[in-house]
Chains A and B, each alone.
Chain A
């Protein structure tokens, strides 16, 4: 294994600026959508007093969950001493920061009072997991920034490993905190389950790695850098394990729910009668997000190709968005069980009359805000790799594989 050298993203200027311009335009359009929503009020969105968190939350939560997962690649190198992953660490940490920034931007811009962010920073209720998350998120930025510094600066080498381990523990706490936003909600049938916290952790492993793989392969490809088969194969297999784990948690979550009669109505809604939510569960969460990627990854032919890995990662991300949609929106549209043993036959406030679910359809500004968050992630990442030495000059087997031998 040779010493790894790092260099800035070296694509030609017009191409670099072109990419930035496109992303900038998407962000500008999202900015207009935010201004429109905040200026008019949330009545211009599809959100209501029944479905209070809409599509922006789906994007925000997905990006925040993926952020902590993207850091895993660095953690495997540092906390678990896998040398082959160490050259990948810098980009992993940068992408983690960018994903968190994009997710938080979407979350904050969907607040009813985004101008009161300062209040959120100065008034805390420590019984709220949201308040804890403010610390977990800002702490993540600081810790991962220091982690990047210690990765890049050899004088700080002594700090590299402790910081890496600390960042790994912090990211586990962070995703536990994000999962607990739902896990701690006793009011709603679809939430109020402790398993949601570890499930979010495992979801983050899968989504973060899928996002990392796509970004890595794209930035290397356009810059003419080489990624060897050994690394790709390792990461692909790891993605397979993570996706299988998501499937396992999904199974346990629903089986546990199915055991208790009180949750049968909710399970029937998600698994069988929920229309778009049932479709997104089986078609998006299970098929696109888990089964097809697993089929591709472990297929002897397709799994070995770059196209196969790109397809699997893309599907994991699309399936992941469907998963978060089913959890966030599906959990809200299902009527709350306020009167067990009774059916609400009329209500002045849409309480799920005759067990009917609440209505929600995302509006265009909400979609634009969510997509804008993704553009922020890519913009920050591309600027970062252009400015500083985040990318190894090559990840060919000769350089990356510790067991490489010329045959």
Chain B
């Protein structure tokens, strides 16, 4: 016959307190942590307008560092070709946020290299045409897609003058927590928004460019490096005729 141990009142209270502590503590900790992260829950304002200046003269022929960095930063390198897909077709279906473009001037034959991505327009055609408002522009100038309300109609891709957007053509097995993606939605460069929202001030492409061709920063701050560069060097917008007031500017093209 086993012995029945009679617990005293003191012991019972001790055990209960310990159990309660184990149960409640993580919640309290979590609460404290999220309270510390409060700034991320505040809405972004238009006091900042993120943008960049790209100096095509510094962009080196054959260099692909910004593209690789973007692929890695935003998990685009995790998008695998589906089994049985045609390689040539898949290359035209896989997503890209930034790409290298090499231009030749028709008159002079001058060669220019530059990276192309979402130009983060002030008046983005992709936002105008999106039926559900999934394609939107944040107050701080970043144009991005709300993946919860994107229905995959691709009208924004028809409307973008820069061919900056990609449709996710296949199931994605592995994804980064800060760059979730699902089959059937549209996406494009968001200026590494996860970095900016965590207090960083650089993008992956800028960090990767060893030729310093990309200057990123706050266009609203006259003292920022990008504002100073724009002030001191001539620059253009691609398809300036559309008067979209792009956040991405180029010099020497």
With the chains together, A129 CA to B159 CA distance in Å? 12
- How far is the CB of B7 from the nearest CB of chain A, in Å? 56
* Distance between Cα atoms of A116 and B184 in the complex (Å): 11
Quick check: A344 and B101 within 8 Å, CB to CB?
yes
CA–CA, A129 and B107, complex, Å? 40
Distance of A181 Cα from B132 Cα, bound (Å): 15
Kindly identify which residue among A41, A52, A114, A123 contacts B170, using a CB–CB cutoff of 8 Å.
A41
B31: interface (CB < 8 Å): no
Closest CB of chain B to A260's CB: distance in Å?
13
B161 at the interface (CB under 8 A from A): yes
Let me know if B163 and A336 touch, CB within 8 A: yes
List of B residues within 8 angstroms of A343 by Cβ:
103-104, 106
Given contacts A43-B169, A348-B67, contact A50 B129 (CB under 8 A): no
Instruction: Give the CA-CA distance A41 to B89 in the complex, in Å.
Output: 14
User: Complex: how many Å from CA A345 to CA B253?
Assistant: 14
**Are the CB atoms of A119 and B151 closer together than 8 Å?**
yes
> For residue B93, which residues in chain A have a CB less than 8 angstroms away from its CB?
42-43, 47-49
Contact residue range for chain B?
A: 35 or more
Complex Cα gap A113–B153 (Å): 8
Determine whether A14 belongs to the interface, using a CB cutoff of 8 Å to chain B. Answer: no
Evaluate contact between A112 and B67: CB separation under 8 angstroms.
no
The residue that A345 contacts in the complex, of B89, B111, B154, B183, with Cβ under 8 A, is: B111
Contact with B along A286-302 (1 / 0, CB 8 A): 00000000000000000
Interface hits, A30-74 → B, CB 8 Å: 38, 40-43, 46-50, 52-53
B125 touches A186 (CB 8 A): yes
B229 at the interface (CB under 8 A from A): no
Contact A131 B116 (CB under 8 A): no
Q: Does A154 contact B (CB under 8 A)?
A: no
A112 and B153 in contact (CB under 8 A), knowing A129-B129, A347-B100, A359-B92? yes
Complex Cα distance A50/B88, Å? 13
Pair A111/B158 contact, Cβ less than 8 Å: no
Which B residues lie within 8 Å of A119 (CB)? 132, 149, 151
A127 within 8 A of B: yes
Give B113-162 interface residues, CB cut-off 8 Å to A.
Answer: 116, 125, 127-134, 149-155, 157-162
Cβ contact within 8 Å between A347 and B102? yes
B168 near A112 (CB under 8 angstroms)? yes
Q: Is the CB of B184 within 8 A of A113?
A: yes
- Known: A41-B82, A42-B167, A349-B116. Contact between A338 and B238, CB under 8 A? yes
Which chain A positions have C-beta within 8 A of B185?
112-113
**Which of A53, A112, A125 is B184 in contact with, Cβ under 8 Å?**
A112
A123 touches B101 (CB 8 A): no
A122 to B93, alpha carbons, bound, how many Å? 30
Q: Quick one: given A41-B168, A49-B167, A128-B128, are A339 and B103 in contact (CB under 8 Å)? A: yes
Binary per-residue interface labels of chain A (358-372) against chain B in the complex, 1 for a CB within 8 Å, 0 otherwise: 110000000000000
Q: Given A50-B163, A123-B132, do A111 and B151 touch, yes or no (CB 8 Å)?
A: yes
> Which of B92, B134, B157, B171 makes the CB contact (< 8 A) with A41?
B171
Contacts of A359 in B (CB 8 A): 92
Asked if A142 is an interface residue, CB under 8 A from chain B, the answer is no
| Residues of A with C-beta under 8 A to B106 | 341-343
Q: Give the contacting residue for A130; candidates B91, B104, B127, B153; CB below 8 A.
A: B153
B95 at interface, CB cutoff 8 A:
yes
B129 contacts A130, CB within 8 Å?
yes
User: With A41-B184, A117-B151 in contact, do A188 and B131 touch (Cβ < 8 Å)?
Assistant: no
A254 to B170, CA, bound (A): 38
Report the Cα distance A354→B169, complex, angstroms.
26
B82 touches A188 (CB 8 A): no
Contact partners of A178 in chain B: CB under 8 A: none
**Interchain CA distance A53-B134 in the complex, whole Å:** 19
CB contacts (< 8 Å) of B91 on chain A: these are 350
By the criterion CB–CB under 8 Å, are A113 and B152 in contact?
yes
Known: A111-B152, A120-B151, A338-B162. A127 touches B169 (CB 8 A): no
- Assess whether A158 is interfacial by the CB under 8 Å rule: no
B99 at the interface (CB under 8 A from A): yes
Chain A residues with Cβ under 8 A from B149's Cβ? 116, 119, 123
Asked if A185 CB lies within 8 Å of chain B CBs, one says yes
Q: What separation, in Å, do the CA atoms of A128 and B124 have in the docked complex? A: 12
Complex Cα spacing A359 to B89, Å: 9
Chain B residues with Cβ under 8 A from A332's Cβ?
158
A124 located at the interface, meaning its Cβ lies under 8 Å from any Cβ of chain B in the complex: yes
B95 touches A186 (CB 8 A): no
Partner of B159, one of A41, A133, A185, A350: A185
18 contacts between A and B (CB under 8 A): A38-B184, A40-B171, A41-B170, A42-B184, A48-B92, A49-B157, A53-B154, A120-B131, A125-B128, A130-B130, A130-B131, A181-B155, A186-B161, A187-B160, A341-B105, A341-B107, A342-B112, A343-B104
Given pairs A43-B169, A116-B151, A343-B106, 9 additional interface contacts (CB within 8 A): A40-B171, A47-B93, A49-B165, A53-B158, A117-B151, A128-B130, A339-B253, A347-B101, A350-B91
- A residues within 8 Å of B by Cβ? 38, 40-43, 46-50, 52-53, 111-114, 116-117, 119-120, 123-125, 127-131, 133-134, 181, 184-188, 332, 336, 338-339, 341-351, 358-359
B-side residues, CB < 8 A to A, are 64, 67, 82, 85, 89-96, 99-107, 111-112, 116, 125, 127-134, 149-155, 157-163, 165-171, 183-186, 238-239, 242, 253
- List the 6 shortest-distance A-B pairs measured between CB atoms, nearest first: A112-B152, A112-B184, A130-B131, A348-B99, A187-B161, A349-B99
